Amino acid sequence: MVIIDGKKVSAQVKEQVASETKELIAQGVTPGLAVILVGDDPASRVYVNNKKKACEFVGFKSEEFALPATTTQEELLALVDELNNRKDINGILCQLPLPKGLDDNAVIEAISPLKDVDAFHKQNVGRIMIGDYDFLPCTPAGIMEMLHAYDIDVDGKNCVVIGRSNIVGKPMGMLLLHENGTVTICHSHTKNLKEITANADILVAAIGRAKFVTADMVKEGAVVIDVGMNRDENGKLCGDVDFENVKDKCSYITPVPGGVGPMTIATLMKNTLKAARLQNNL
Ligand code: GUN
């Protein structure tokens, strides 16, 4: 059993981005990422801080817009509009979910598709469907990069994704399909979940429930990817997979923390670099 080291792979990706950023800066373009955080959700604050830290590491300019939970939809959309028009901002990221009363989808649609480094805009989502895209969604693309780094071949494999969110589950299925996986997406209405997951060569858990995937749900020798970020009964950070009991059945497994999370951020850096290039025809 191999524990996939997301920190290590993400460090390699960020090194590559940093080196390409140096070249871009030499040509007069410093990639700029705007990070919008509305409200005071502690988890979102941690994610945003990590994204800013990564920007610093690779040599981007990052600008944080921390808005109170009382921000109105109009105020938020006005900020997005201003950022859409700023030449020095190449990527715009609004940390989701937004506090109650604000509409995630309205903000996603307001961000210029050219600056949509999360790849959440319907124009970018559509382009991913047909395989003609500039940006890939950060978490699924980070997972694919991790599989590649460990030479895990998807072609012809039974791939099972648990979770059908627009951010992870649905695009994850699509990226696995692009690499010729046979993909099943499971969700809360799925019948006989255990029978389906127990046939997975590659199992991606993106449910949002602590230790939901237990050993009896996993096939011997499976690759298990854990997208979860939860707190267990003792308040300790844990994934959607019961790591301690599942790990010995796996050929590969990602830990939480130190698995998928750092890869999400590494992909965000890649997307922002690409956005800066595209916007400057470089
Ligand atoms: N919330 C959970 N994951 C993400 C992500 O990848 N991007 C943004 N903007 N918000 C998120």
**What is the rounded CA–CA span in Å between residue 231 and residue 209?**
9
pLDDT digits (tens, 9 = 90+) for 202-260: 999 999 999 999 999 999 999 999 999 999 999 999 999 999 999 999 999 999 999 99
Percentage of residues in the chain with pLDDT exceeding 70? 100
Percentage of residues in the chain with pLDDT exceeding 90? 100
- The shares of helix, strand and coil residues in the chain, as percent rounded to the nearest 5, are 45, 15, 40
Whole-model pTM: value is: 0.97
**What is the rounded CA–CA span in Å between residue 27 and residue 273?**
13
> Which among 14, 52, 116, 118 is annotated as catalytic?
118
pLDDT digits (tens, 9 = 90+) for 96-137: 999 999 999 999 999 999 999 999 999 999 999 999 999 999
**What is the rounded CA–CA span in Å between residue 4 and residue 97?**
28
CB atoms within 10 A of CB 221: 11
3-class DSSP assignment, residue 26: helix
- pLDDT mean over 48-66: 98
Q: What is the pLDDT of residue 101?
A: 96
> What phi, psi does 93 have (nearest 5°)?
-125, 125
CB atoms within 10 A of CB 197: 25
- pLDDT mean over 82-88: 98
Q: Side chain identity at 162, as an amino acid letter?
A: I
User: 36: closest CA among 100, 101, 104?
Assistant: 104
List all residues 6 or more positions away from 129 whose beta carbon is below 8 Å from its beta carbon. 174
Q: What is the pLDDT of residue 144?
A: 98
Q: What is the pLDDT of residue 230?
A: 96
Contact 104, 97 (CB under 8 A): yes
Q: What is the pLDDT of residue 171?
A: 98
**What is the rounded CA–CA span in Å between residue 133 and residue 140?**
14
* CA of residue 173 to ligand 1 center, whole Å: 17
pLDDT band at 268 (very low <50, low <70, confident <90, very high): very high
Known catalytic membership, residue 219: no
Residue whose CB lies within 8 A of the most ligand 1 atoms, among 35, 36, 37, 47, for a mutation test: 47
* CA of residue 265 to ligand 1 center, whole Å: 10
List all residues 6 or more positions away from 254 whose beta carbon is below 8 Å from its beta carbon. 3, 4, 6, 146, 224, 225, 226, 239, 260
- pLDDT mean over 56-67: 98
* CA of residue 95 to ligand 1 center, whole Å: 5
pLDDT band at 277 (very low <50, low <70, confident <90, very high): very high
**What is the rounded CA–CA span in Å between residue 223 and residue 200?**
8
User: 64: closest CA among 106, 93, 21, 105?
Assistant: 93
3-class DSSP assignment, residue 143: helix
Q: What is the pLDDT of residue 175?
A: 98
- pLDDT mean over 180-191: 98
